[in-house]
Amino acid sequence: MWHNQAIPYKADFSLNGNLSELERLSAEISRFCRENSLDEEAEFQLNLVLEELFVNTMRHGGCEGAQNSTRVRLQSAADGVEVVFADRGLPFDPTSAPPANVVAPLEERHAGGLGIHLVREIMRDLQYRRSGEWNQISMKRPHGPRNL
Amino acid sequence: MIQLMEETRGGWCIVGVRGRLDAESADELESALRTAIGKNAKVAANFAGVDYISSAGLRAVIQAARAAEGKEVEFTICSLTPHVKKVFDMSGLHQILHLRGELPC
């Protein structure tokens, strides 16, 4: 018996070190979520996580202006979306960055570290490795509403 | 990309925001809010049309709130959509900013 089973759509794309690439990033994520029937919140949070990491490579990693400085791979699995984010920036391990102070009063808020804080709130199983001139972060966003 | 619209109603300056608050558009929001805070005693940002926010957008709001505090201007953020509200909550900002379910007037 033949099953007409669709091949799961995976995303694999590169970004240049330019803020204008955020538009393409969100279009790629939107397509990936549509093809895999993922909900609006999954799309929002994947977009957020990938923007934070991508912007960091430009602001702190030295990737501003570099061609194909970032590569993103997305794959939907049974229990969540598997994400691999790689960049050719300075070595940076988000799993060992100090936690952001999210209970500080307004006058002490500098919003530094907030992006990585959000990445760690949303994603699970974060793993970092440095491979040659690349940082590589693999992680997972679990399916279903996250209890925060 | 964001669209901004300013109106005055019941003693409040209401800054309506539509679109995506990301690293590319956050500066535009911050400067619009700072301008409003510079010339009004009460400013409300209407976030009903904001469908996405990242830490860059949060930073813009934090900076505006600090500017408001320095000038003793009342500053509130209203009508956050559920996904956007969750990002504020995850960042602990619901405890230090004045968030409202609806516009003040």
CA atoms within 13 A on the CB side of A134: 13
The token pair at A111 is: 């919003």
Could B83 and A40 be called an inter-chain contact, meaning their C-beta atoms sit closer than 8 Å?
A: yes
Nearest-CA distance B25 → chain A (Å): 10
Could B91 and A117 be called an inter-chain contact, meaning their C-beta atoms sit closer than 8 Å?
A: yes
In a domain, A80, yes or no: yes
List pLDDT tens digits, range A11-47: 999 999 999 999 999 999 999 999 999 999 999 999 9
Examine the pLDDT at B78 and tell me if it is beyond 50: yes
> Hey, what domains does chain B have and what are their CATH numbers?
2-100 (3.30.750.24)
Q: Kindly state the average pLDDT of the residues B76-95.
A: 96
DSSP class of residue B29 equals H
B66 interfacial to chain A (CB closer than 8 Å): yes
Looking up residue A68, the CATH number of its domain turns out to be: 3.30.565.10
B91 → closest Cβ in A19, A40, A118: A118
List pLDDT tens digits, range A32-87: 999 999 999 999 999 999 999 999 999 999 999 999 999 999 999 999 999 999 99
In a domain, A65, yes or no: yes
Could B24 and A20 be called an inter-chain contact, meaning their C-beta atoms sit closer than 8 Å?
A: yes
In a domain, A67, yes or no: yes
* A109 band by pLDDT with thresholds 50, 70 and 90: confident
Lowest mean pLDDT among A1-15, A65-79, B68-82: A1-15
Could A106 and B55 be called an inter-chain contact, meaning their C-beta atoms sit closer than 8 Å?
A: no
Q: Please report how the helices A40-59 and B82-90 are oriented relative to each other, as an axis angle in degrees rounded to 10.
A: 50
